């Protein structure tokens, strides 16, 4: 179980490795600072997980578009994450989808309590992913 969320980390890191249009600036510290702003880290040593999302624009998207933490219950988030993960993993296996977006399976298991924060961030990452890459992972409207 320790490596469960590490696999998600690798998938998200790989998915974000697409070439990006970054304006050229003479100060490399500015670029490094903006990349750090797009890194979200969630860790809990007692549950032995760590999620790190490196996705340009995700943090600012979270600030603008994510529902407040009290909006969803953990049960709702877990249910939706199971649906998202099942579809994600299906697309990893199916060769008809862009392999640059779906490179590795996510080992997110129903019945394991990953905690509210992991489920909240993971759910919103899937919604962000759908919007950014124009992918529809589930039949449900993710915003409502």
Q: Where are the alpha helices (DSSP H) in 16-143?
A: 28-37, 58-65, 74-93, 116-133
64 lies in some domain: yes
Tens-place pLDDT, residues 71-111: 999 999 999 999 999 999 999 999 899 999 998 888 888 88
Provide the domain count of the chain. Answer: 1
Determine the Cα–Cα distance for residues 91 and 99; give it in Å rounded to an integer.
8
139 lies in some domain: no
Place of tokens 């943090």: 59
115 lies in some domain: yes
70 lies in some domain: yes
Place of tokens 């490596």: 3
pTM here is 0.69
Determine the Cα–Cα distance for residues 6 and 12; give it in Å rounded to an integer.
10
**Rounded to a whole number, what is the largest CA-CA distance in the chain?**
50
**39-44 vs 49-54, strand pairing mode:** antiparallel
Residues linked to residue 49 through DSSP beta bridges, in sequence order = 44
Q: Give residue 49's pLDDT.
A: 67
Tens-place pLDDT, residues 5-54: 555 545 544 444 443 333 333 333 433 444 445 666 666 566 566 667 77
51 lies in some domain: yes
Q: Give the SS3 label for residue 42.
A: strand
- CB contact at 8 A, 104 and 119: no
Tens-place pLDDT, residues 121-132: 999 999 999 999
Residue 85 structural domain: 4-133
22 lies in some domain: yes
Q: Give residue 56's pLDDT.
A: 87
Question: What is the gyration radius of the CA atoms in the chain, in angstroms?
Answer: 15
90 lies in some domain: yes
Place of tokens 């880290």: 41
Q: Give residue 30's pLDDT.
A: 37
């Amino acid at each position: 179980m320790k490596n469960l969320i590490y696999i998600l980390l690798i998938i998200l890191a790989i998915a974000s490795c697409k070439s990006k249009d970054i304006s050229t600036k003479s100060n490399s510290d500015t670029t490094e600072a903006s990349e750090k702003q797009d890194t979200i880290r969630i860790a809990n040593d007692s549950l032995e997980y760590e999620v790190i999302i490196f996705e340009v624009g995700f943090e600012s998207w979270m600030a603008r578009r994510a529902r407040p933490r009290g909006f969803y219950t953990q049960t709702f988030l877990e249910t939706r994450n199971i649906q998202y993960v099942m579809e994600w993993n299906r697309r990893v296996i199916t060769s008809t989808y862009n392999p640059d977006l779906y490179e590795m399976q996510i080992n997110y298991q129903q019945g394991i309590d990953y905690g509210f924060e992991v489920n909240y961030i993971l759910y919103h990452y899937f919604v962000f992913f759908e919007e950014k890459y124009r992918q529809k992972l589930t039949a449900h409207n993710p915003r409502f």
